[in-house]
């Protein structure tokens, strides 16, 4: 996606998750969409082999970018780390249940910390979906504040 189309990313992420009903699917697909956004910003900033890296390593590389809005970057890094932890728990803990308060807490924090569009009335599920779309938009906005 080119920089000119970044404005659509928030809507694309929301639209990709909106029809999903199962929270496990929303977590897995949302994580993949965030990874795609991370790849875009890292590739634009010269990290050409980033697609082979783990999500965790990509977060670390994002954190090292020379961004003017460090406060926003720190909040993005926290949100990405938290969602990665939830995704890893789902992938590696047999008894992990996604319907817990950690997922909802993550979404509430993302929506409180970042600006973004509200496409539908909030429910438990749509609040989580909106958190993924809002976080995507805010990750891409960091690219505009990177100092070369």
Half-sphere exposure of 135 (CA within 13 A, CB side): 31
- Please report the pLDDT score of residue 73 as a whole number: 97
Q: From the first residue on, what is the mean pLDDT of each consecutive set of 10 residues in the chain (148 residues)?
A: 72 94 96 97 94 97 95 98 97 88 94 91 93 96 76
- Please report the pLDDT score of residue 98 as a whole number: 87
d(CA 96, CA 44): 36
| pTM for the full predicted model | 0.92
- Please report the pLDDT score of residue 7 as a whole number: 74
């Amino acid at each position: 996606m080119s920089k000119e189309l970044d404005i659509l990313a928030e809507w694309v992420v929301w639209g990709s998750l909106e029809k999903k009903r199962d929270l496990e699917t929303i977590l897995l697909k949302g994580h993949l969409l965030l990874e795609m956004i991370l790849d875009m910003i890292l590739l634009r900033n010269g990290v050409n082999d980033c697609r082979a890296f783990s999500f965790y390593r990509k977060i670390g590389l994002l954190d090292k970018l020379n961004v003017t809005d460090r406060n926003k970057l720190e909040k993005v890094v926290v949100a990405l780390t938290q969602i990665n932890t939830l995704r890893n728990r789902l992938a590696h803990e047999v008894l992990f249940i996604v319907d817990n308060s950690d997922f909802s807490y993550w979404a509430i924090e993302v929506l409180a910390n970042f600006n973004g569009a509200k496409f539908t009335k909030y429910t438990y599920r749509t609040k989580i979906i909106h958190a993924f779309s809002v976080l995507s938009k805010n990750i891409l906005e960091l690219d505009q504040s990177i100092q070369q």
